Structure 1
Amino acid sequence: MKYYYSKTVDYSFEDTIEKLKAELKPEGFGIVTEMDVQEKFHEKLDVYFRPYKILGACNPKFAYEALQEDDKLGTMLPCNFIVQRLDNEKTEIAAINPVATMQAIDNPKLNSFATDVGDILKRVLDKV
């Protein structure tokens, strides 16, 4: 089982980010963190890296329910997405697969929760 879901699109890098944010919103997710990897690598290492952003998406309802079940689960939150520009002028979006992530936790109650969240994340990717 892959630890992520992914999709390649023909949109520009910035348009892909905007479309992703727009599709997350109706599903109850908001972006709580945004890291510009290209900018950070240039700033800290003085190297060039392709356009690459890590977006931390959170659905407060799901986060609350998960933390009620396991208070250490916050180490795996938020649900991360990446958006990166590929060499072929296409843009890739990838999201964490929560089902794969939850396999590291011995709590069967979290399995159905992870499946529900994973279904939403896949649906968002399909819509972008």
Structure 2
Amino acid sequence: MIENGQVAYGFDVEVAGDFEAVRGRVVEALKGQGFGVLTEIDVSATMKAKLGRDMPRYNILGACNPVLADKAISAEPDIGLLLPCNVVVSETAKEGTTKVSFMDPVSVLAIVNNARVTELGWEVRAKLEAVRDALTSSS
């Protein structure tokens, strides 16, 4: 269920600009908050290659803030099963607009039931919200 740009496990924003331009802005905004992109999955290219299916552009960026990841792994060694933070950049039906969706680390990390991890989840969420806000303030 999506309500006001939020689902139970994430939040999103529509950004003015074509897919490649917005993707680049997302990567730069993530860097500004101490994240690097460790992985990138081009879902639309994979669907085309494996299933012959065309779909709008859809990339999953695996973002990681090494300082916060280190704290999380120190608090809960198996937390790597829930890392990195995924950010999805996807084409919308509205021309000139790209959707950026963020995993909500508070929701996702709640399953760990560890107070130190929960606290880190809030810190990561604030940084991801800052990325979202940077995208909307610069559009």
For 1:82-101, list aligned pairs within 5 A.
Answer: 82-89=88-95, 90-101=97-108
Structure 1 position 103, deviation (Å)? 1.4
Whether 2:38 is the aligned partner of 1:27: answer no
Match for 2:16 among 3, 7, 10?
10
Quote the Cα distance in structure 2 between the aligned partners of 1:32 and 1:57: 6
Letter in 2 for 1:107: N
Q: Is the 8 A contact 2:82 2:109 kept in 1?
A: no
For 1:27-106, list aligned pairs within 5 A.
Answer: 27-89=33-95, 90-106=97-113
> Which consecutive unaligned segments of at least 5 residues does structure 1 have?
none
Structure 1 position 2, deviation (Å)? 2.2
2:120 counterpart SS class: helix
> Which consecutive unaligned segments of at least 5 residues does structure 2 have?
1-6
Letter in 1 for 2:52: D
Pick which of 63-72 and 103-112 moved more. Answer: 103-112
Percent identity over the alignment is 31
1:55 counterpart SS class: strand
TM-score (norm: length of structure 2) = 0.89
TM-score (norm: length of structure 1) = 0.96
